[in-house]
Protein backbone atom coordinates (compact mmCIF):
# COMPACT_ATOMS: atom_id res chain seq x y z
CA UNK A 1 0.00 0.00 0.00
CA UNK A 2 1.26 3.54 -0.73
CA UNK A 3 2.61 5.58 2.14
CA UNK A 4 0.14 8.29 3.19
CA UNK A 5 1.11 11.63 4.70
CA UNK A 6 -1.72 13.67 6.23
CA UNK A 7 -4.22 11.81 4.08
CA UNK A 8 -2.39 12.54 0.81
CA UNK A 9 -0.18 10.40 -1.38
CA UNK A 10 3.54 10.83 -0.88
CA UNK A 11 5.17 12.72 -3.75
CA UNK A 12 8.78 12.80 -4.88
CA UNK A 13 10.55 14.31 -7.83
CA UNK A 14 11.96 12.01 -10.50
CA UNK A 15 15.47 12.71 -9.14
CA UNK A 16 14.42 11.90 -5.59
CA UNK A 17 12.76 8.67 -6.73
CA UNK A 18 15.95 7.54 -8.45
CA UNK A 19 18.07 8.46 -5.43
CA UNK A 20 15.72 6.60 -3.10
CA UNK A 21 15.87 3.49 -5.27
CA UNK A 22 19.67 3.55 -5.28
CA UNK A 23 19.90 4.24 -1.55
CA UNK A 24 17.45 1.52 -0.55
CA UNK A 25 19.09 -1.04 -2.80
CA UNK A 26 22.58 -0.24 -1.56
CA UNK A 27 21.42 -0.58 2.04
CA UNK A 28 19.88 -3.96 1.22
CA UNK A 29 22.63 -5.43 -0.98
CA UNK A 30 26.36 -4.93 -0.47
CA UNK A 31 27.02 -6.00 -4.06
CA UNK A 32 25.47 -2.81 -5.41
CA UNK A 33 27.81 0.14 -5.95
CA UNK A 34 27.80 3.31 -8.04
CA UNK A 35 30.48 4.45 -10.46
CA UNK A 36 30.73 7.52 -12.69
CA UNK A 37 32.07 11.01 -13.20
CA UNK A 38 31.46 13.52 -10.37
CA UNK A 39 28.89 11.29 -8.66
CA UNK A 40 30.55 11.56 -5.23
CA UNK A 41 31.01 14.91 -3.52
CA UNK A 42 29.44 16.75 -6.47
CA UNK A 43 26.41 14.44 -6.44
CA UNK A 44 26.20 13.86 -10.18
CA UNK A 45 25.62 16.26 -13.05
CA UNK A 46 21.88 16.36 -12.25
CA UNK A 47 22.05 15.68 -8.52
CA UNK A 48 20.79 12.10 -8.53
CA UNK A 49 23.53 10.83 -6.19
CA UNK A 50 23.69 13.90 -3.96
CA UNK A 51 24.60 12.97 -0.38
CA UNK A 52 25.16 9.30 -1.10
CA UNK A 53 28.94 9.31 -0.71
CA UNK A 54 28.48 10.55 2.86
CA UNK A 55 26.45 7.43 3.71
CA UNK A 56 28.18 4.77 1.65
CA UNK A 57 31.72 6.07 1.30
CA UNK A 58 34.03 6.42 -1.66
CA UNK A 59 34.39 2.65 -2.14
CA UNK A 60 30.71 2.30 -3.09
CA UNK A 61 30.17 5.73 -4.68
CA UNK A 62 33.18 5.80 -6.92
CA UNK A 63 34.25 8.90 -8.83
CA UNK A 64 36.09 8.12 -12.04
CA UNK A 65 38.32 9.92 -14.52
CA UNK A 66 36.62 11.28 -17.63
CA UNK A 67 36.43 7.94 -19.43
CA UNK A 68 33.06 6.54 -20.43
CA UNK A 69 34.76 3.44 -21.81
CA UNK A 70 36.37 2.97 -18.41
CA UNK A 71 33.04 3.34 -16.59
CA UNK A 72 31.27 0.84 -18.84
CA UNK A 73 34.23 -1.56 -18.80
CA UNK A 74 34.47 -1.45 -15.01
CA UNK A 75 30.74 -2.21 -14.79
CA UNK A 76 31.08 -5.19 -17.11
CA UNK A 77 34.04 -6.63 -15.22
CA UNK A 78 32.49 -6.09 -11.79
CA UNK A 79 29.19 -7.61 -12.91
CA UNK A 80 30.83 -10.74 -14.29
CA UNK A 81 32.75 -11.02 -10.99
CA UNK A 82 29.53 -11.05 -8.96
CA UNK A 83 28.83 -7.40 -8.16
CA UNK A 84 25.81 -5.37 -9.27
CA UNK A 85 27.24 -2.06 -10.48
CA UNK A 86 25.19 0.98 -11.45
CA UNK A 87 27.19 3.23 -13.76
CA UNK A 88 26.34 6.79 -14.70
CA UNK A 89 27.12 8.42 -18.02
CA UNK A 90 26.95 12.18 -17.50
CA UNK A 91 25.13 12.84 -20.78
CA UNK A 92 23.70 10.15 -23.04
CA UNK A 93 25.73 11.50 -25.96
CA UNK A 94 28.95 10.41 -24.24
CA UNK A 95 27.89 6.76 -24.26
CA UNK A 96 29.29 6.72 -27.78
CA UNK A 97 32.75 6.35 -26.19
CA UNK A 98 31.70 3.13 -24.43
CA UNK A 99 30.07 1.28 -27.32
CA UNK A 100 32.72 -1.45 -27.57
CA UNK A 101 32.28 -2.39 -23.93
CA UNK A 102 28.49 -2.39 -24.20
CA UNK A 103 27.88 -3.86 -27.65
CA UNK A 104 30.76 -6.35 -27.96
CA UNK A 105 31.17 -7.28 -24.30
CA UNK A 106 28.18 -6.65 -22.02
CA UNK A 107 25.58 -7.74 -24.57
CA UNK A 108 27.44 -10.86 -25.69
CA UNK A 109 29.04 -12.44 -22.60
CA UNK A 110 26.05 -14.33 -21.22
CA UNK A 111 25.30 -15.84 -24.63
CA UNK A 112 28.90 -16.71 -25.49
CA UNK A 113 29.45 -18.46 -22.15
CA UNK A 114 26.23 -20.45 -22.38
CA UNK A 115 24.67 -18.71 -19.40
CA UNK A 116 27.52 -19.60 -17.05
CA UNK A 117 28.40 -15.92 -16.77
CA UNK A 118 25.92 -13.10 -16.25
CA UNK A 119 26.31 -9.33 -16.54
CA UNK A 120 23.97 -7.75 -13.96
CA UNK A 121 24.81 -4.10 -14.57
CA UNK A 122 22.82 -0.91 -15.08
CA UNK A 123 24.10 2.06 -17.03
CA UNK A 124 22.11 5.22 -16.28
CA UNK A 125 22.20 8.16 -18.64
CA UNK A 126 20.26 11.43 -19.09
CA UNK A 127 19.10 11.99 -22.66
CA UNK A 128 17.00 14.42 -24.61
CA UNK A 129 16.79 18.07 -25.54
CA UNK A 130 15.17 21.08 -23.89
CA UNK A 131 17.98 22.50 -21.75
CA UNK A 132 19.84 24.50 -24.39
CA UNK A 133 22.82 22.15 -24.18
CA UNK A 134 23.30 21.91 -27.96
CA UNK A 135 24.12 19.02 -30.27
CA UNK A 136 26.70 17.16 -28.16
CA UNK A 137 24.62 17.06 -24.96
CA UNK A 138 21.02 16.62 -26.14
CA UNK A 139 20.65 13.44 -28.15
CA UNK A 140 18.20 10.56 -27.84
CA UNK A 141 20.17 7.44 -28.82
CA UNK A 142 18.03 4.74 -27.23
CA UNK A 143 17.32 2.93 -30.48
CA UNK A 144 21.01 2.23 -30.99
CA UNK A 145 20.76 -0.09 -27.99
CA UNK A 146 17.36 -1.51 -28.89
CA UNK A 147 19.12 -2.82 -31.99
CA UNK A 148 21.60 -4.86 -29.92
CA UNK A 149 20.44 -8.30 -28.71
CA UNK A 150 21.47 -8.88 -25.11
CA UNK A 151 20.84 -5.34 -23.90
CA UNK A 152 17.65 -4.26 -22.18
CA UNK A 153 16.52 -0.66 -22.69
CA UNK A 154 14.33 1.17 -20.19
CA UNK A 155 12.83 4.69 -20.41
CA UNK A 156 10.68 5.64 -17.40
CA UNK A 157 8.37 8.64 -17.77
CA UNK A 158 7.21 9.12 -14.16
CA UNK A 159 8.84 9.18 -10.72
CA UNK A 160 6.89 6.03 -9.77
CA UNK A 161 8.22 4.13 -12.76
CA UNK A 162 11.71 5.59 -12.32
CA UNK A 163 12.04 4.04 -8.86
CA UNK A 164 10.30 0.75 -9.66
CA UNK A 165 12.07 0.17 -12.95
CA UNK A 166 15.48 1.07 -11.53
CA UNK A 167 15.04 -1.45 -8.71
CA UNK A 168 13.96 -4.08 -11.23
CA UNK A 169 16.90 -3.23 -13.48
CA UNK A 170 19.41 -3.69 -10.65
CA UNK A 171 17.86 -7.08 -9.85
CA UNK A 172 18.07 -8.21 -13.48
CA UNK A 173 20.92 -10.52 -14.50
CA UNK A 174 21.34 -8.77 -17.85
CA UNK A 175 22.85 -5.40 -18.76
CA UNK A 176 20.24 -2.63 -18.71
CA UNK A 177 20.50 0.74 -20.45
CA UNK A 178 18.48 3.10 -18.26
CA UNK A 179 17.53 6.33 -20.03
CA UNK A 180 16.33 9.34 -18.01
CA UNK A 181 15.08 12.46 -19.80
CA UNK A 182 16.63 15.60 -18.37
CA UNK A 183 13.33 17.51 -18.41
CA UNK A 184 11.70 14.83 -16.26
CA UNK A 185 14.13 15.17 -13.35
CA UNK A 186 12.12 17.90 -11.57
CA UNK A 187 8.67 16.47 -12.29
CA UNK A 188 6.73 15.16 -9.29
CA UNK A 189 4.56 12.13 -8.76
CA UNK A 190 3.32 9.50 -6.34
CA UNK A 191 6.15 7.24 -5.10
CA UNK A 192 5.64 4.68 -2.31
CA UNK A 193 8.31 4.71 0.39
CA UNK A 194 8.80 0.95 0.44
CA UNK A 195 10.91 -0.91 -2.09
CA UNK A 196 8.84 -2.09 -5.07
CA UNK A 197 9.58 -3.11 -8.62
CA UNK A 198 7.93 -2.37 -11.93
CA UNK A 199 8.55 -5.44 -14.11
CA UNK A 200 10.75 -4.89 -17.13
CA UNK A 201 8.90 -5.43 -20.41
CA UNK A 202 5.46 -4.42 -19.18
CA UNK A 203 3.75 -1.82 -21.34
CA UNK A 204 1.26 0.42 -19.55
CA UNK A 205 -1.97 2.01 -20.79
CA UNK A 206 -1.80 5.35 -18.97
CA UNK A 207 -4.99 6.82 -20.39
CA UNK A 208 -8.04 5.09 -21.82
CA UNK A 209 -9.53 6.41 -25.07
CA UNK A 210 -11.58 5.35 -28.05
CA UNK A 211 -10.45 7.43 -31.05
CA UNK A 212 -6.66 7.29 -31.51
CA UNK A 213 -3.93 5.18 -29.92
CA UNK A 214 -0.87 7.27 -29.04
CA UNK A 215 2.26 5.27 -28.22
CA UNK A 216 4.72 7.63 -26.53
CA UNK A 217 8.07 7.25 -24.79
CA UNK A 218 9.79 9.17 -22.00
CA UNK A 219 9.06 12.94 -22.03
CA UNK A 220 6.49 12.39 -24.78
CA UNK A 221 4.20 10.57 -22.35
CA UNK A 222 3.31 13.65 -20.27
CA UNK A 223 3.11 15.68 -23.48
CA UNK A 224 0.72 13.13 -24.97
CA UNK A 225 -1.39 13.24 -21.82
CA UNK A 226 -1.55 17.03 -22.03
CA UNK A 227 -2.54 16.77 -25.69
CA UNK A 228 -5.23 14.27 -24.72
CA UNK A 229 -6.73 16.73 -22.26
CA UNK A 230 -6.83 19.40 -24.95
CA UNK A 231 -8.48 17.13 -27.51
CA UNK A 232 -10.97 15.77 -24.99
CA UNK A 233 -12.55 19.23 -24.97
CA UNK A 234 -13.21 18.70 -28.68
CA UNK A 235 -14.72 15.26 -28.12
CA UNK A 236 -11.62 13.39 -29.30
CA UNK A 237 -10.42 10.75 -26.83
CA UNK A 238 -6.81 9.58 -27.08
CA UNK A 239 -5.60 6.31 -25.59
CA UNK A 240 -2.05 6.92 -24.38
CA UNK A 241 0.36 4.01 -24.05
CA UNK A 242 3.82 4.02 -22.46
CA UNK A 243 6.04 1.02 -23.35
CA UNK A 244 8.40 1.90 -20.44
CA UNK A 245 10.75 -0.90 -21.54
CA UNK A 246 11.70 -0.60 -25.20
CA UNK A 247 13.61 -3.86 -25.32
CA UNK A 248 12.28 -6.43 -24.78
CA UNK A 249 9.03 -4.82 -25.88
CA UNK A 250 5.64 -5.91 -24.56
CA UNK A 251 3.56 -5.11 -27.66
CA UNK A 252 0.32 -6.90 -26.69
CA UNK A 253 -1.29 -3.80 -25.10
CA UNK A 254 -0.38 -1.75 -28.19
CA UNK A 255 -1.96 -4.28 -30.55
CA UNK A 256 -5.08 -4.49 -28.39
CA UNK A 257 -5.42 -0.71 -28.31
CA UNK A 258 -5.05 -0.29 -32.07
CA UNK A 259 -7.69 -2.97 -32.62
CA UNK A 260 -10.00 -0.85 -30.48
CA UNK A 261 -9.29 2.60 -31.94
CA UNK A 262 -8.33 1.73 -35.52
CA UNK A 263 -5.82 4.58 -35.59
CA UNK A 264 -2.30 4.92 -34.21
CA UNK A 265 0.24 7.68 -33.68
CA UNK A 266 3.75 6.93 -32.40
CA UNK A 267 5.59 9.79 -30.71
CA UNK A 268 9.24 9.95 -29.64
CA UNK A 269 11.94 12.59 -29.39
CA UNK A 270 14.70 10.77 -31.24
CA UNK A 271 15.07 11.48 -34.96
CA UNK A 272 12.47 9.80 -37.15
CA UNK A 273 14.89 7.92 -39.42
CA UNK A 274 15.80 4.67 -37.69
CA UNK A 275 13.89 5.68 -34.57
CA UNK A 276 11.89 3.45 -32.25
CA UNK A 277 8.66 4.54 -33.90
CA UNK A 278 9.51 2.48 -36.95
CA UNK A 279 9.62 -0.66 -34.79
CA UNK A 280 6.20 0.11 -33.32
CA UNK A 281 4.75 0.67 -36.80
CA UNK A 282 6.20 -2.65 -37.97
CA UNK A 283 4.81 -4.50 -34.95
CA UNK A 284 1.35 -3.12 -35.66
CA UNK A 285 1.60 -3.92 -39.39
CA UNK A 286 2.67 -7.50 -38.66
CA UNK A 287 -0.05 -8.11 -36.09
CA UNK A 288 -3.78 -8.78 -36.22
CA UNK A 289 -4.28 -5.06 -35.54
CA UNK A 290 -3.43 -4.35 -39.19
CA UNK A 291 -6.88 -5.49 -40.31
CA UNK A 292 -8.48 -3.03 -37.91
CA UNK A 293 -6.64 0.06 -39.15
CA UNK A 294 -8.78 2.86 -40.57
CA UNK A 295 -5.74 4.97 -41.45
CA UNK A 296 -1.99 4.60 -41.97
CA UNK A 297 0.00 4.52 -38.74
CA UNK A 298 1.66 7.90 -38.25
CA UNK A 299 5.03 8.77 -36.71
CA UNK A 300 5.80 12.05 -34.95
CA UNK A 301 9.48 12.34 -34.07
CA UNK A 302 12.48 14.63 -33.92
CA UNK A 303 13.81 16.22 -37.08
CA UNK A 304 16.75 14.50 -38.75
CA UNK A 305 19.21 17.19 -37.68
CA UNK A 306 21.61 17.74 -34.76
CA UNK A 307 19.95 19.53 -31.84
CA UNK A 308 20.47 23.32 -32.22
CA UNK A 309 21.82 25.49 -29.40
CA UNK A 310 19.33 28.26 -30.16
CA UNK A 311 16.41 27.68 -27.81
CA UNK A 312 13.72 28.56 -30.37
CA UNK A 313 15.20 26.25 -32.98
CA UNK A 314 15.66 23.54 -30.35
CA UNK A 315 11.99 23.79 -29.40
CA UNK A 316 10.89 23.18 -32.97
CA UNK A 317 13.32 20.30 -33.51
CA UNK A 318 11.46 17.82 -31.28
CA UNK A 319 7.71 17.14 -30.88
CA UNK A 320 5.80 19.44 -28.55
CA UNK A 321 2.28 19.22 -27.16
CA UNK A 322 0.80 21.28 -29.98
CA UNK A 323 2.36 18.95 -32.58
CA UNK A 324 0.78 15.91 -30.92
CA UNK A 325 -2.58 17.71 -30.81
CA UNK A 326 -2.40 18.54 -34.52
CA UNK A 327 -1.35 15.04 -35.64
CA UNK A 328 -3.87 13.24 -33.44
CA UNK A 329 -6.68 15.58 -34.48
CA UNK A 330 -6.00 14.95 -38.16
CA UNK A 331 -5.99 11.21 -37.58
CA UNK A 332 -9.22 11.32 -35.61
CA UNK A 333 -10.91 13.39 -38.33
CA UNK A 334 -9.63 11.25 -41.17
CA UNK A 335 -7.44 14.03 -42.57
CA UNK A 336 -4.47 11.97 -43.68
Catalytic residues: 137
Half-sphere exposure of 68 (CA within 13 A, CB side): 17
Beta bridge partners of 116: none
Q: Which residues of the chain have pLDDT under 70?
A: 1-8
- Does domain 204-333 bear CATH number 3.40.50.920? yes
Contacts of 203 (CB under 8 A, 6+ apart): 241, 242, 243, 244, 245, 249, 250, 251, 252, 253, 254
Q: Are 258 and 284 in contact (CB under 8 A)?
A: yes
Beta bridge partners of 166: none
Where do the structural domains in the chain lie, given as residue ranges?
A: 4-190, 204-333
What CATH topology corresponds to 4-190?
Rossmann fold (3.40.50)
Contacts of 115 (CB under 8 A, 6+ apart): none
Residue 138 CA to residue 132 CA, distance in Å, equals 8
Give the model's pLDDT for residue 294: 97
Contacts of 170 (CB under 8 A, 6+ apart): 21, 25, 29, 32, 84, 86, 120, 122
Q: Are 91 and 64 in contact (CB under 8 A)?
A: no
Query: In a 3-state reduction of DSSP, which class is residue 36?
Result: strand
Query: In a 3-state reduction of DSSP, which class is residue 153?
Result: strand
Contacts of 300 (CB under 8 A, 6+ apart): 265, 266, 267, 277, 319, 323, 324, 327
Give the model's pLDDT for residue 124: 98
Q: Are 126 and 181 in contact (CB under 8 A)?
A: yes
Q: Is-same-fold flag (4-190; 204-333)?
A: yes
Residue 195 CA to residue 33 CA, distance in Å, equals 17
Amino acid sequence: MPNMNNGTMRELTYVEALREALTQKMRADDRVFLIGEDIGVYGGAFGVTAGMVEEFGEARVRDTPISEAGIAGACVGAAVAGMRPVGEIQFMDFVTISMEQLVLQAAKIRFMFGGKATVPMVLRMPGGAGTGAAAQHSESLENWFVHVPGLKVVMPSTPYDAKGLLLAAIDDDNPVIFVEHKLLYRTKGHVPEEMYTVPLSQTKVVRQGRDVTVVATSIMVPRALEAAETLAKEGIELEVIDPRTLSPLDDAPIVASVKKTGKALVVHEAVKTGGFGGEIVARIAESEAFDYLDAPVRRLAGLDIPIPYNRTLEYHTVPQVENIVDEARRLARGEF
